[in-house]
Amino acid sequence: MKRNRQFVLFIVLIVTCYISLASAFSNVINITSFLVYLITIFSIIYMLLLENRSPYRTLLWIYVLLFVPIIGYIFFIYSGQLEVKGHLFRSKREETNKLMKNKYSFNPSTQWNNITEAQKNLSRLIDKFSNNQISFHSISKVLKNGDETFSTIKKEIEQADYYIHLEYFTIKSDQIGKEIIDLLCSKAEHGVEVRLIFDAFGSTKLSNTSIREMEKAGIEVYTFLPIKKGFFNQKLNFRNHRKIIIIDGEVGFVGGLNIGDEYLGLDPKLGFWRDTHLMLKGEVIKTLQDTFILDWNFVSGKTLQNSKYMNTSPVEEIQGGVQILPSGPDSPVDGIMSDLYYELITSAKTSILIATPYFVPNKAIRTALAMASAKGVDVKLLTPEINDSFLTKYATRSYFTEMLDYGIDVYSYKKGFLHEKLIVIDEQFATVGTANIDLRSLHLNFEINAFLFETDSIKDLVAHYKEDLQDSSRINISAYQERGLVVRTKESFARLFSTIL
């Protein structure tokens, strides 16, 4: 729905509602206004029906529009319900589809025959959804927490010779932010091409001074979906949650850590910060580069030629594969990450290890977890005791009773704030990235995940997970069911906002 049409409909709703209820007008005018009001409401509902959303969501919005029409319409507009398939990302979606049809091929490998049929099926789905192939000529290394991640990132930035591409949801002008910004400025001043995309909503604490310093040094800086004034600005609900770095086509980074002091455990409220990042090398860097270039062309309005940035150093064939999947409103299929999480869970034979800070699963994922547990799969869910949001904390906890009833082991991480996004299946294949198990990550945000097949890094992920369980407490179903009415009320209230968290 175009923005001017949204504005007209909003004005019509207010005016007709006022006239219908006002006693200063004649009955004819009141009745006519009421009829126009009803026609307007039902025309909005009709346009909603044409979107072919899920019956549950469609009915929910119909109820909202019927019973709280003006306020409901405002929420409807700001939720972006009419924009996911609308004009906002149409050009980006078209460019994505064009790139998918003209993809390069990775070096063939006999290692494909060494992975399980379930892993092959998952890989085929990723390939079908994104045309990103699995690479057996790439290396993944697990980086645990902020100290290890930032020291590695700074070391690689210092060694850059040609270009550095960065894309972040959050980058701040604090201690670690300034350290990295200073490094980037230094490299740019010495002739290295540096490009940065940051999300407007996530990086509100990136100061204008820092931006000017980077631009003065020669860094190209662009904001993803700037937050503009205007009552009908729907962009607020679509955020770029990706964390990507590509350096010289030699090394790439992806994972859960943004750039800010809290990721080093320096936030006194959250304390210790538990997170996981990946360093990648080899031909899989090309798929990270594709994602960055598509986002760069979108935010800058320029065309960054792929070929110039697609040279990667060959890595000898190794045991295990790496595959990248970007997801978001520009994806050819809605809810790609949700579908792949579902496929991961349903393919499990022995164990499922899940760590996520925000657990607000859709019906499909809840069903998959229930069926896995019923089949005898050992399912463990790890979420933080401390959270950075009241709504996300209690919305997450509102699903604990259901998970416990399924026989799933639920753990609460107590050492600090757990922010990693991790699923490990049968200790053989896994995903690490930016996508949480919540409706925002699965349907609204721009995300990116790495999928690992039989790599040595999976052993590290499993070992770290078991260590994290030592810093957690297992939730007892009997004790949890006896939690007080106040806690239950908080959970029920927070769950009402599940679709927008």
Q: Which of 199, 248, 330, 468 is catalytic?
A: 248
Our CA angle for 197, 438, 289, nearest 5°, is 30
Q: Which of 115-119, 231-235, 372-376 has the lowest mean pLDDT?
A: 231-235
Nearest alpha-carbon partner for 193 in 92, 271, 296, 291: 296
For residue 232, the model assigns a pLDDT of 47
Residue 265: its H or E element? none
The verdict on whether 426 is a catalytic residue reads yes
Q: Which of 137, 241, 380, 443 is catalytic?
A: 241
Q: Give me the CATH topology for the region 90-111+137-316.
A: Endonuclease; Chain A (3.30.870)
* Contact status, residue 325 vs residue 132, Cβ threshold 8 Å: yes
Q: Is 339 helix (H, G, I), strand (E, B) or coil?
A: helix
What's the length of the chain?
501
As a whole number, the mean pLDDT across the chain is 87
For residue 424, the model assigns a pLDDT of 98
User: Alpha carbon of 102 to those of 96, 268, 370: distances in Å?
Assistant: 10, 49, 40
DSSP string, 366-380: HHHHHHHHHTT-EEE
For residue 470, the model assigns a pLDDT of 97
Does the pLDDT of residue 428 top 90, yes or no?
Answer: yes
Q: Which of 235, 243, 380, 415 is catalytic?
A: 243
Does the pLDDT of residue 81 top 70, yes or no?
Answer: no
Q: Give me the CATH topology for the region 336-500.
A: Endonuclease; Chain A (3.30.870)
Listed by start position, the domains of the chain span 3-78, 90-111+137-316, 336-500
The verdict on whether 241 is a catalytic residue reads yes
What is the DSSP secondary structure assignment for residue 142, as one 8-state letter?
E
The verdict on whether 286 is a catalytic residue reads no
Q: What is the pLDDT of residues 244-257, one digit of tens each?
A: 999 999 999 999 99
Does the pLDDT of residue 230 top 80, yes or no?
Answer: no
Stretch 322-339: mean pLDDT = 88
What is the 3-class SS of 378-416, one letter each residue?
EEEEEEECCCCCHHHHHHHHCCHHHHHHCCCEEEEECCC
Give the global pTM: 0.85
Does the pLDDT of residue 398 top 50, yes or no?
Answer: yes
Q: What is the pLDDT of residues 114-153, one digit of tens each?
A: 999 999 999 999 999 888 999 999 999 999 999 999 999 9
The verdict on whether 277 is a catalytic residue reads no
Q: Which of 419, 443, 464, 490 is catalytic?
A: 419
The verdict on whether 182 is a catalytic residue reads no
For residue 418, the model assigns a pLDDT of 96
For residue 299, the model assigns a pLDDT of 92
Same fold, 90-111+137-316 and 336-500: yes
The verdict on whether 190 is a catalytic residue reads no
- The pair phi, psi for residue 438, each rounded to 5°, is -145, 165
User: Alpha carbon of 329 to those of 80, 84, 170, 240, 430: distances in Å?
Assistant: 11, 6, 20, 10, 24
Q: Which of 137, 286, 380, 421 is catalytic?
A: 421
Q: Which of 426, 438, 443, 464 is catalytic?
A: 426
For residue 32, the model assigns a pLDDT of 82
